[in-house]
Amino acid sequence: MGNFPEAGAVARIRLFASSNAWIEGAATRQLDQLAGRPDMLAVAGMPDLHPGHHAPVGSAALARGRVFPDVIGTDIGCGMQFWSLDLPERRLKLDKAVERMAVLEGAWEGNAAALLDEHGLPLDFAASLGTVGGGNHFCELQAVEEIFDPATAAQAGVVAGGLSLLVHSGSRGLGPAVLAHHHVDGTGGLPLEGAGMDYLADHDLALRFARLNRQVIAGRALQALRTEGEERIDNPHNLAERQGDLVLHRKGAAPSDRGLVPIPGSRGSVTYLVEPLPAPPDALASLAHGAGRKHDRASMLGGKRQVASNLDRLTRNPYGGHVICTDRQLLLEEAPEAYKDVTKVVADLEAEGLVRVVAILRPVLTFKTARMKREQGRVKR
DNA sequence: ATGTGC
């Protein structure tokens, strides 16, 4: 890493976003507060920056000798996993796929406890291994919209007429349990020597659980689609990474040092497959992890955004694809207009010299949830 | 985000 200020000095703050980026004052204030934490050396904001609980989502923060569990938050290890499928788009029967993909709602039929045991992972949350979860999580079948660099795209198995799968999920119950176990009041974090290392050990288990969870989800989706495929990319965006006595925190920031990165927008928009470029040290080896929220969940439920009368639209996408989501409230919270324009977010990353676009993928079938909630039909307004 | 309420 480059020359960062010494401990006690003000951390360097760098925002990788143009005036086109929709960045709230609350988010930049959170970025300032993050920079003001003890032993913080540098902080980077990405164009998807938006307010989070204890730190802004879309940020990276480098500290010396200290880790801040509350910055990583509850969903430790949450990230994107990208698979290429053997099934060509022309052979997909969409109606059948919509029907069969709903299997993801139930528990995995495999032996979760045995698999976790094999991986040396705790069994406490075996029941949710292989399930997507809530919030912004999804499992999405995607088709190729455009390829800009065929040779690089082929590295991720992206070829014209092909299909891919993008899984966005995390460590389910394990991440929140780890955070609760190592909870610290205030913004001081944990010293790396001692309590900080204990946190990181448990954090690493959640990181591995999250990746395995995405693999099981993908395996179930492939089975539902009666095809096979290959895991090409796994890119976690909520994690702490120890580098000697430094700790790099990523809160909704995609690592740029692990190959190609999928950057999804909303469930009504395309996903960009990008190649990270050699970046200045103050980018903290990070990229935007998605479009980022434009409006918080609560404001999407107020009826002010004129989406309530148009719920049917939200279970389809502008590309003729389907969204499986039987939860009305989640459908409103996750409406495309709740998100920034991913095209602008990626344009900012390009303008900052951080990435090159390799391909654009379009949503064909998105699984969110097939569960029928009891309060179904009762949306607060 | 969350075995998603007490």
Strands A163-169 and A79-85: antiparallel
Residue A260 lies inside a defined structural domain of this protein:
yes
The total domain count for chain A is 1
| 3-class DSSP string for A305-369 | CCCHHHHHHHHECCCCCEEEECCHHHHHHCCHHHECCHHHHHHHHHHCCCEEEEEEEEEEEEEEE
Q: Is the CB of A135 under 7 A from strand B?
A: yes
At A183-205, the pLDDT tens digits run 889 999 999 999 999 999 999 99
Give the contacts of A226 (CB within 8 A, at least 6 positions apart).
A87, A100
Q: What is the pTM of this model?
A: 0.95
Residue A199 lies inside a defined structural domain of this protein:
yes
**pLDDT for residue A381:** 41
Kindly report the backbone phi and psi dihedral angles of residue A151, in degrees, each rounded to the nearest multiple of 5, phi listed first. -65, -45
At A280-326, the pLDDT tens digits run 999 999 999 999 999 999 999 886 566 656 778 899 999 999 999 99
Q: Which residue is nearest to nucleotide B2 (CA to C1')?
A: A173
Residue A10 lies inside a defined structural domain of this protein:
no
At A37-61, the pLDDT tens digits run 999 999 999 999 999 999 999 999 9
| A379 has pLDDT over 50 | no
What would the DSSP string read from start to end of A137-163?
Answer: -EEEEEEEEEES-HHHHHHTT--TT-E
Average pLDDT, stretch A174-187? Answer: 95
Q: Which residues of A250-281 are buried (b: 16+ CB within 10 A; e: fewer)?
A: bbbbbbbeeebbbbbbbbbbbbbbbbbeebee
- The mean pLDDT of chain A is 94
Task: Give the confidence band of A123 by pLDDT, cuts at 50, 70, 90.
Answer: very high
A322 catalytically annotated? no
| A126 has pLDDT over 70 | yes
Share of chain A above pLDDT 90, in %: 90
Q: Is A283:A45 a contact under the CB 8 Å cutoff?
A: no
Residue A252 lies inside a defined structural domain of this protein:
yes
Average pLDDT, stretch A64-71? Answer: 98
Residue A59 lies inside a defined structural domain of this protein:
yes
Nucleotide with minimal C1' distance from the CA of A176 is: B2
**pLDDT for residue A120:** 98
> Strand B: which bases are under 7 Å from protein Cβ?
1-4
Domain range holding A320?
Answer: 25-369
At A211-245, the pLDDT tens digits run 999 999 999 999 999 999 999 999 999 999 999 99
Query: How does DSSP classify residue A11?
Result: P
CATH at residue A240: 3.90.1860.10
Residues 162-181 of A with CB under 7 A from strand B: 169-170, 172-173, 175-177
Residue A4 lies inside a defined structural domain of this protein:
no
Residue A153 lies inside a defined structural domain of this protein:
yes
A94, two tokens: 């969409």
**pLDDT for residue A51:** 97
Q: Which of A71, A116, A76 is nearest to A206 (CA)?
A: A76
- The rounded distance, in Å, linking the Cα atoms of A169 and A123 is 18
A112 CA → B1 C1’, Å: 22
Q: Which residue is nearest to nucleotide B1 (CA to C1')?
A: A75
Give the count of alpha carbons within 13 A of A255, CB side only: 19
| A2 has pLDDT over 80 | no
Residue A323 lies inside a defined structural domain of this protein:
yes
